[in-house]
Structure 1
Amino acid sequence: MLQNSPELKSKIDQLWNKFWSSGISNPLTAIEQITYLLFMKRLDELDLKRKSDAEWTGEKYTSKFDGIWVPPEHRTKLSGRESAVELVEIFAHDRRKYGIDKCTLRWSDFKRMQAEEMLQHVQSKVFPFLKDLNGAESNFTHHMKNAVFIIAKPALLVEAVKTIDDIFEVMERDSRENGQAFQDIQGDVYEMLLSEIATAGKNGQFRTPRHIIKLMADLVQPQLGHNIADPACGSGGFLLGAYQYIVTQLAIKAGTRDLAPDEDGFTRTSVAAALTEKAQAILTSSLWGYDIDATMVRLGLMNLMMHGIDEPHIDYKDTLSKSYTEESEYDIVMANPPFTGSIDKGDINENLQLATTKTELLFVENIYRLLKKGGTACVIVPQGVLFGSGGAFKTLRQLLVDRCDLKAVITMPSGVFKPYAGVSTAIMLFTKVWGPKDKVTQPATENVWFYEMAADGYSLDDKRSKQEGNGDLQDIVVKYHSRNVATSSDRTAKCFMVPRTEIADEKNNFDLSLSRYKANVFEEVHYDAPGVILDRLIQAEVGDVDETELNKVQSGIIRELLALKGMVG
């Protein structure tokens, strides 16, 4: 992690400060521009590596930088009635007149240019090529259509390119010396950049810490072939978390033995070398993300592509609106939907039954609808969802208890989302049993497992510094997967089971707050007798003085203490 590489952190701070001092001070704008540069660098590096690997193994590989590229605006518009001969002539004409040799679009080629030439080349050729990378019909090209390269100062581009080269050099050295996968270090770099968004975004959106994503993946255990979604995906952290979990499990099954636990105690690798081409295709086609912020969609697409997912399914969609009609599609949903937001009543999908405009409630209901029967969700909610007294709050909790098997409620301390917000949150884990229109003949939940997370391995202040150990993270994983009613009955413990009948009774009325069911432990405290305490106070004031001398004192605090001593005997 970057906390262990001051040099890497320093380089990223330098990069950030260069953008800031050049007038690009909006964190999200700066991150988007830096991401474009990181993407250009990574594209070149990955392409050269794949080319080298193919030469070594004798396999055929077509480089993204082989041949001639004609910018879209210079391609002759076709009517569809052209003959094969005419098409050949048209393409040949476009290539001759407007064609750009793709090898000049490589990072390793343009970084050697002079400042003015480099800026003009990247603005007019490299960036348009990047936008057109996956072909006119691709999801990536569609979402990159409105992307703008706003670096206008040649000096900033030159400095940024040099700093990114330095960052990659440190990353490669760290990878060699510490045995950490290069893609994992790259993930750390990206996380560091994203952490610069130090305030909650629109509608209460904020980044989910990566160790919490890893925890949730270990709880839900996604498998190859599962359809996995995040209906409010931001920069794609949960999709990446599911991808890395699956890749790691496949690597372990394939015989990989040298994977050491990371600083949070989780075993992870991003390296998909153990995946067959078929497994990679299955995995890539099973990850689906949606967001209502076009910038976050672009960041999410590039984030996943930089981790080896060539054509991610991340789209611009409001998953609460009438235009989003998916239902019963997914085996796994992992999400941290926006808190404290609300949606216009007229825009809400009519399939959502809760009488509310609160996004934190509507998203949970929508996630339930998105799950296939037997599908499982792992969702972060503000703790108010667990005990809110409004009708929609109670209706949602009853839905989760009756129509789903509500497996776990894990409360988290309020510092987990600092510096973005100090809100207290919880993880809810549930499996869909009954559909929205099914008649519930038997409530799906028998027992709910509660866990009170006290620490997550990081300080709970704005700095969120790494602490010794990993807090409760690994304990949660172990205890969740080994939970049973017989061993989880102690209500004074960190975790315990509560039967559905108790949660649903008239007194509790589907309240899911841990404190409702936890038994308080009172420690007996022994105090000294009042006379002994008063003697100690008197001695502190005057030292060792005999009683005769003390009785001569006519006023002041000593007189009052002596009077009190006389009263208590």
Structure 2
Amino acid sequence: MITGEIKNKIDKIWTDIWAGGITQPLTVIEQLTYLMFIRSLDEKEIENESLEALGLEAAKKVFPQTDEGQAMRWSKFKDKDAREIYEIIGQRVFPFIKTMNNNESSAFSRYMGDAMFLIPTPQVLQKIITGLDELYEHDIKDHDMQGDLYEYMLGKLSVAGQNGQFRTPKHIRDMMVKLLAPTPDDRICDPACGTAGFLVSSAEYIRQKYESQMTAEQWQRFEGDAFTGFDTDRTMLRLSAMNLMLHSITNPHINYADSVSKRNDISDVYDVILANPPFTGTIDEESIHDNLKAVCNTKKTELLFVALFIRMLNIGGRCACIVPDGVLFGTTKAHKALRQELVENQNLQAIISMPSGVFKPYAGVSTAVLVFSKTNAGGTDKVWFYDMKSDGFSLDDKRNDLGNDGDISDIVARFHNLKDEADRKRTEQSFLVDKEEIKSNDYDLSINRYKEIEYEKVEYDPPEVIMARLDELAIDLGSKMEELRGLLENE
């Protein structure tokens, strides 16, 4: 975890960039990402040189072994005059990282082609470099802390994207990962990855639970093949590749793709899908893949993505995804067809209704987490419903930390022990509903359809008792007023 002192240092760097004229948070993060990447290249080179000095095998050199090439290293230019630093990075280092590895070696390099260096002045650049260097030298000790720093910066993205996508809070992502409990042998995908938050949370979970027992083959998979993400925004792809790199995933499969289009033919590949797909907007009907329209004939992205998740999963694969409440009770043919598909042809396990404030300040939309596994042969017996009241943060725009995790620990514990939920009443926070009851309700999956509310009977005193009490209060108030007047007259 990063401390308040570290946050203050990051905020100071952020303020310096804003003062220089860059006020779009996404642009600020992108520019900081480039500089963090440039510094990481020099750290890698220093590590290689240390191995060589010990007579050990080292990786291929990062920088050209010429005077000009070595001058591009962070450790060589960081203490130079501001104007010289600005020229070195803008004219030499930035073009170098855009073309390094022939755009093949890493996901980050692949999406650098249209990147732009936008730091406005030498003075602003020097302040950023000094601030970052102090952070790395004194505060950031390992990859976990680098990831926490990056997560904190991403938290400053306070607006939703044009297509309705926005960053999923880390504690919600972590909850969803714990529900699915991925292993080192799973192939994990987010078909609408944004900044790769779900992939990062999955990686953290696997490292925390399995790190001491993972084989060399599993570690090799962990560094690349285990994690796949797709997005249509190249800026997001750059950010997600960097985010994963800072979490020790050096070569993830981060690809530019419109996941629901006819160009995406992926099916029966992944063991785990975690996603928060775009909620708003529609897409060109002609571009939608036919096998998605076969599940639910619609142009609504929130429905098409759920159909996509079913297609992309292996048999036995599992999914946890966030959907707007409308997916659960919408009355169109497409809404009903998708819900019927989940209930009748797959194994729908859980609906976790989340409070509308979870995604503030991005949006106030009410959402739920769908949890299901792919069978293509049914398997839904009972569906578990949970009415989340709190996620550990205030539900207003400020989202203040309440000092606990709200209902999250309870949700995870109960989900992994559903046999004990059988006797829960509909008046409680979680309960099971038979498949046949859901079917009889036109496959409505909204928790309010099944939840029962207990109304407490309130007994009021008879009117004459209430009136007598008011009379007593009036007499008491009158005496106090007289006492106050006496005090004022004596002054």
Instruction: After TM superposition, list the pairs within 5 Å mapping 1:105-124 onto structure 2.
Output: 105-124=72-91
CA displacement, residues 175-217 of structure 1 (integer Å, 9 cap, x when unaligned) = 6xxxxxx323222221221122211111111000111111111
- Structure 2 match to 1:184: 144
Q: What residue is the counterpart of 1:36 in the other structure?
A: 34
Aligned partners of 1:16, 1:228: CA distance in 2, in Å? 33
Map of 2:126 onto structure 1: 158
The separation in 1 between residues aligned to 2:115 and 2:477, in whole angstroms, is 81
- Tell me, yes or no, if structure 1 residue 522 matches structure 2 residue 480: no
Q: Deviation per CA, 1:104-136, whole angstroms, max 9, x where unpaired?
A: 322122101111111111112212222234344
CA distance in structure 2 between the aligned counterparts of 1:39 and 1:140, rounded to whole angstroms: 9
The separation in 2 between residues aligned to 1:183 and 1:467, in whole angstroms, is: 28
Q: Which AA in structure 1 matches 2:300? A: K
Q: CA deviation digits over 1:145-178, x for unaligned, max 9?
A: 1111122311111011011122224533xx6xxx
Quote the Cα distance in structure 2 between the aligned partners of 1:65 and 1:355: 50
- The answer on 1:246 being equivalent to 2:214 is no
RMSD of the TM alignment (CA)? 2.1
- Give me the whole-angstrom Cα distance separating, in 1, the residues matched to 2:75 and 2:215: 30
Q: Could you say which residue in structure 1 is the equivalent of 2:226?
A: 286
Deviation at 1:51, TM superposition (A): 5.5
Alpha-carbon distance between aligned partners in 2 of 1:28 and 1:229, rounded to the nearest angstrom: 24
Structure-1 separation of matches of 2:108 and 2:145: 24
Residues 1:374 and 1:120: Cα distance change in structure 2 (over 3 Å): same
Q: 1:540 to 1:361 in 2, by over 3 A?
A: same
C-alpha distance in 2 between matches for 1:346 and 1:398: 25
How has the CA–CA distance of structure 1 residues 399 and 46 changed in structure 2, closer, same or farther, with 3 Å as cutoff? same
Cα distance change on mapping 1:203 and 1:136 into 2, 3 Å: closer
| Secondary structure of 1:352's aligned partner | helix
Counterpart Cα distance in 1 of 2:271 and 2:448: 31
**Residues 287-296 or 320-329, more deviating:** 320-329
Change (3 A) 1:50 1:492: farther
Tell me if the contact between 1:204 and 1:341 (Cα under 8 Å) persists in the aligned partners.
yes
State how far apart, in whole Å, the 2-side matches of 1:380 and 1:234 are: 14
**Residue in structure 2 matched with residue 14 of structure 1 by the alignment:** 12
CA distance in 2, matches of 1:402, 1:43: 52
Contact 1:65–1:106 under 8 Å retained in 2? no
Match of 1:458 among 365, 369, 393: 393
**Aligned equivalent of 1:178:** none
| Partner residue, 1:513 | 446
- Equivalent position SS for 1:484: helix
1:226 aligns with 2:186: yes
In 1, Cα distance between the equivalents of 2:216 and 2:44?
A: 17
> Which structure has the greater CA radius of gyration?
1
Match of 2:465 in 1: 532
Deviations 1:494-552 (A, max 9, x none): 111111011001xx11011111111212223222221111112222223399xxxxxxx
Taking only the aligned residue pairs, the percentage that are identical comes to 43
2:286 corresponds to: 346
CA spacing shift, 1:153–1:544, aligned 2, 3 Å: closer
2:92 to 118, 125, 145: 125
- After the TM superposition, which of the residue ranges 35-44 and 329-338 deviates more from structure 2? 35-44
Read off the aligned partner of 2:374 and give its amino acid letter: K
The amino acid across from 1:143 in the alignment is: Y
Question: Structure 2 vs 1, CA of residues 544 and 207 (structure 1 numbering), >3 Å: closer, same or farther?
Answer: closer
CA contact (8 A) 1:233 1:335 kept: yes
Matches within 5 A, 1:448-527: 448-484=383-419, 487-505=422-440, 508-527=441-460
What SS does the aligned partner of 2:271 have?
A: strand
Secondary structure class of the residue paired with 1:332: strand
* TM-aligned CA distance change 1:225 to 1:544, over 3 Å: closer
1:351 match: secondary structure: helix
Letter of the aligned partner of 1:157 in structure 2? L
Instruction: Map Cα deviations across residues 441-473 of structure 1 (whole Å, 9 max, x no partner).
Output: xx4200111111111112212222221221111
CA contact (8 A) 1:213 1:237 kept: yes
Instruction: Look up the equivalent residue of 2:461 and give its one-letter code.
Output: D
Q: Normalising to structure 1: TM-score of the pair?
A: 0.79
Aligned in 2, Cα 1:168/1:303: closer, same or farther, shift over 3 Å? same
